[in-house]
Amino acid sequence: MFDRVAGMDDVWDGLETAVAAAVAFPCAGLADDVVRGRVLAVQSCLDRLRGVHAGLLHEAERRLLWQGSGYRSAADWLAGVAKTSRGEAQSRARLGKALGASKKLKDALADGSMSAGFELAKRSLTSSASANGSRSAFAMSLVTWFPPTLMTA
């Protein structure tokens, strides 16, 4: 997926430049409504980037790029090398697997209509609900927030 885009190195370089500029930008002088808007805009970017990251991790798992590193999976490798929590790495691996299995999910994350965090929470809730034979009120309330076509991804 990522190697098919012309100038992908330019995309990564641009992303790094944009993040560096955002980090260096002082927020203290911004108006309240601008801060609110930027908080939400950054969250949207983070959700979409989590999807990109999950897709890359899934590709690393598919290619077994972690083999020979002393780790048991791509998620274990990510946790060990990037110094992230094992739970976060496993969560990202599950999202990557889900993205690989569902075009609807991949499209929803790409266009920003669904957050990566919501998808993981939904999958966790529905799998535990299936195991228990019932759904919690919280899990059922999530269904009303998103279109049914995305809930079946």
Residue-wise pLDDT for 70-101, tens only, equals: 999 999 999 999 999 999 999 999 989 988 88
pLDDT for 10-62, tens place per residue? 888 888 999 899 889 888 999 999 999 999 988 888 888 888 899 999 999 99
pLDDT at 123: 57
Q: Alpha-carbon distance 105 to 72, whole Å? A: 27
Give, in order, the Cα–Cα distances in Å from 26 to each of 17, 19, 23, 29, 76: 16, 13, 8, 7, 36
pLDDT for 101-140, tens place per residue? 888 888 887 787 776 666 555 555 455 445 544 444 444 3
pLDDT at 84: 92
Q: Alpha-carbon distance 49 to 35, whole Å? A: 21
Name the helix (H) or strand (E) containing 55.
helix 32-62
Q: For residues 33, 36, 40 and 46, what is the CA-based torsion angle, rounded to 10 degrees?
A: 120
Q: Does the predicted model carry a pTM greater than 0.85?
A: no
Distance in angstroms between the alpha carbons of the first and the last residue of the chain: 20
